[in-house]
Chains A and B, each alone.
Chain A
């Protein structure tokens, strides 16, 4: 197994009596983009705050770079950059000044701040007060702040929140580049499966504080079982025909027949068959279970 950059061992965390993180055992390998997936309130942000030692974890449950976090807080924090919830920005300072201030705290050269502004495309707005930035610009500045120290590990909590499609694509590409070209390890949380699917090499799914799934993206794909939805003019005949030809019908709902997806070639073959049999095919397309259904599936299996 590769080096584990983040490892939690049976981590529990309570807010008062409420258990918000339940027996969480994260394993994030070096160089991976780990998609941390879960609905709002699942415990993602709490987990990230625990990884940053903002929330105190019990001893010997959280390990960053192979070392226990509570006893190696400063050494661990030196090697990571983070963006938690809304980016933490001083509204009365300009974007550039926010970065300079962080340069002071990290003891790094100011030229690095300029470089980061360029990287996130905020060069033109460098002198503008950060409080007047749009949500997307704030998010970029937050990412610039996280990247400033050139950390080995990035903890990004919903980094594409509030960005427009262009911004989302840019950040997505940036994350992929950082992981592939610069060997950085990235833990990125999201509540959107589609977002995670595009970038992550590994996925952890959390719900109500419990880790329901952890594995590579391919392992997740195997779980999410793609399907075909079929719309035809004569449902009864269609159903009859499909059953006779050995197709497994998963369900019929709203005048749509759901079948398991095998391959695109198989899809085409089915289309031809139906037409040859005198049926009119209105639509035939591949669908994937959305996150909600995937959750249900995964919880059922557990």
Chain B
């Protein structure tokens, strides 16, 4: 346990000046900022529509969720899986990392957990910033009806679901980035995977939930329908099972990995 914690500390220390770390903060900041700005500058038009408070929140959060679920989240996850491993590939530091008196499982788990934590932070910030910017808009323009509904439950459920649905992709991409040191393979495979995943999910293929890359899109489209309250849907279970299986597979790869 101690070696897991210090490995995690070191992961944070190493990456705190890299884009990978800041992306998880900047991405929600920029996207939520842009959407809020859009709503602010089009306030008159939106107010004229006389949305009920709940629908207004849905429209507002939906603008971030739409792009997030389909494209940004999968690519962000792919990029995280890549950069956590790439920091060692690029600097040729695997050998010194594994020559430390630390358990190999902790080193590997810390890397994986670190990527999970960054994704969690990113999605948490999305939810938080959506909530805050809604209220900011309300404060700036009293014509909005944001104050009439509390979106906390629905926002937290939706983003938590997205978080869970992204773990399958993360684990798969984590292995790919662990094994190959170059940029093109994980990114190329990820890109093809995401496109195929979106097609499979939006065309309503009945087994689409088996493709990790489809899971965020599926999780999101389910939220849009009636299943809003249910967190553990089919694709979430599948995502978690994938995450676990690939995580274990990754450990076997690491423990046998000979550092040449």
Contacts and interface: CB of A to CB of B under 8 A. Distances in A.
Interface of A: 15, 49, 52-56, 74-75, 77-78, 82, 84-86, 88-93, 97, 100-102, 104-107, 145
A107 B92 contact: no
Contact of B101 (A55, A56, A78, A91): A78
B95 to A, nearest CB: 6
8 closest Cβ contacts across the A-B interface?
A: A88-B96, A77-B101, A78-B101, A54-B259, A88-B93, A52-B99, A104-B10, A74-B101
Per DSSP, chain B at the interface is: helix
Contact of A84 (B14, B96, B103): B96
A49 B95 contact: yes
A103 to B, nearest CB: 9
Interface of B: 2, 6-7, 9-10, 13-14, 17-18, 87, 90-93, 95-103, 256, 258-260
B181 to A, nearest CB: 14
A90 B99 contact: no
Contacts of A84: 95-96, 99
Nearest to A90: B91
A271 B143 CA distance: 110
B91 A91 contact: yes
Contacts, number: 71
A105 B18 contact: no
Contacts of A102: 100
A60 to B, nearest CB: 19
Nearest to B18: A92
Contact of B258 (A54, A78, A88): A54
Contacts of B95: 49, 52, 54, 84-85, 88
Contact of B90 (A49, A91, A100, A101): A91
Given A90-B87, A92-B18, A104-B9, A55 B103 contact: no
A53 B87 CA distance: 22
Given A49-B259, A106-B100, A101 B13 contact: yes
Given A88-B93, A106-B101, A55 B18 contact: no
